[in-house]
Amino acid sequence: MKVDADYTSKSCPKCGHVSDQNRPNKGLIFDCECCHFEVHADLIGARNITLRTILSRQDWERTGALSVRPDV
C-alpha cells in the first residue's frame, strides 16, 4: 500500500503542527515549535508514514475503497 510521504518528517505526531521550523537547519533532530516534542527526524517520518498507512487501511476495510484524501 502506498501513502503520501509529504511532510512526514515535519509533522508533529503529538500536536499535529506542520512546519519547516520543526527541523532546524534540515537536521536530524525534530523539535516541534509548538509543543516542543523532540526526537530523531527519521523516527518521526517513519511513525507518520505508519500512521497514514494504518488509517488508509482502516478506511479501505470499512469502505472497500482507498481514501482519496491526500493527508490521511
Digit-coded pLDDT (tens) for 15-37: 999 999 999 888 899 999 999 99
Task: Tell whether 12 is covered by a domain.
Answer: yes
Q: Is the pLDDT of residue 70 over 70?
A: no
| Dihedral class, residue 36 (left if φ above 0, else alpha if ψ from -120 to 50, else beta) | left
Q: Do the strands 38-40 and 29-31 form a parallel or antiparallel pair, or are they unpaired?
A: antiparallel
The helix or strand, by DSSP H or E, that contains position 31, with its residue range, turns out to be: strand 29-31
Number of structural domains the chain divides into: 1
> Is residue 49 included in any domain, yes or no?
yes
Q: Tell me if 69 is assigned to some domain.
A: no
| 58 or 6, which is more confident | 6
pTM, entire model: 0.72
Average pLDDT over every residue of 7-13: 90
Is residue 72 included in any domain, yes or no?
no
H and E: helices and strands count for the chain: 1, 2
Is residue 52 a part of any domain in this protein?
yes
For residue range 37-62, what is the model confidence (pLDDT) as tens digits?
999 989 999 999 998 888 888 776 67
Residue 8 inside a domain? The answer is: yes
Domain enclosing residue 17, as ranges: 1-64
Structural domain contains residue 70: no
